[in-house]
Amino acid sequence: MNFQLWGRKCLDILWPPICAHCRRGLSSSVSGTLCHSCRAQLIPLEAPFCLRCADVSNLVSALCVSCRNKKFACRLIRAAFLYRGPIHSWVYSFKYRGRFPAAQEAGRLMARNWARFRELPPPDILVSVPLHFRRENERGYNQAEILARAISKETGIPVLSPLIRVRETQAQWKLDKKSRQRNIAGAFKVARPGDVLGRRIVLIDDVCTTGFSLEACAEALKERGAIDVCAYAFAREI
Ligand SMILES: [Zn+2]
Ligand SMILES: [Zn+2]
């Protein structure tokens, strides 16, 4: 038994691992964030959904009400799962409880689910949605970057970090839809234009709610010469 494995076994005895959702103890055969039964309740994003933003509500033929007759910098949004049920606890565990291995596991799952979306071909680079440096310092990491790095490890697609968040914004979930758009507009800037010019990019984020953050990132990337910007999230709120 190597030292790392031995260390983990000791920690497991002191603090037995529990499911992030139902809080039941995880059996030794389960290495992950959720128990078998909670994991089985995850709902994959499946058609029918809006062909642009993957919203499954308010569909008007192929597009939803928000996407009809509009142009977007972020051409396409997809997600591995719907943001319903136990996935809330999974996201909470890496976003607010400091469990970054839960984000690595989520990233691996995103990589495996990517193949279901043929309309989202592998890009030149992956770019994570940045946090403001103050929030990243508080949390100790950017969860979207951990997702991107885990996907990169599985797929070989490189990760670059050309974007920065130039102003602190309020947490989007605290705001209504109109305020969310105002809150996030112009919040991102490309700090390294050389990483972006002529590149096809997929933005990576944990949860897509309205798509406004993704759109603001995509606008900044397109302004600096990205030729195509799409997005892929762990979960899609509907
Ligand atoms: Zn459970
Ligand atoms: Zn839509």
Q: Tell me whether residue 105 is exposed, middle or buried, using C-beta atoms within 10 angstroms of its C-beta: 0 to 12, 13 to 18, 19 or more.
A: buried
Verdict on whether the full-model pTM lies above 0.75: yes
H/E element holding 175? none
Least confident residue range of 30-39, 106-115, 174-183: 174-183
CA 133 to ligand 1 centroid distance, Å: 33
pLDDT confidence of residue 4: 56
Question: What architecture is the 48-236 domain classified under in CATH?
Answer: 3-Layer(aba) Sandwich (3.40)
**Gap from CA of 17 to ligand 1 centroid (Å):** 11
pLDDT tens per residue across span 65-105:
999 989 999 999 999 999 999 999 999 999 999 898 999 99
Which candidate, 165, 204, 172, 213, places its Cα nearest to that of 188? Answer: 165
Ligand nearest to the CA of 53: 2
Q: Where are the domains positioned within the chain? A: 1-41, 48-236
Among the bound ligands, the one closest to the CA of 17: 1
Beta bridge partners of 230: 202
| Contact indicator for 210, 67 with CB cutoff of 8 Å | no
Residue 20 has pLDDT above 70, yes or no: yes
Torsion on CA atoms 67, 71, 76, 79, rounded to nearest 10: -40
Angle at alpha carbon of residue 89, lines to 85 and 90, rounded to 5°:
105
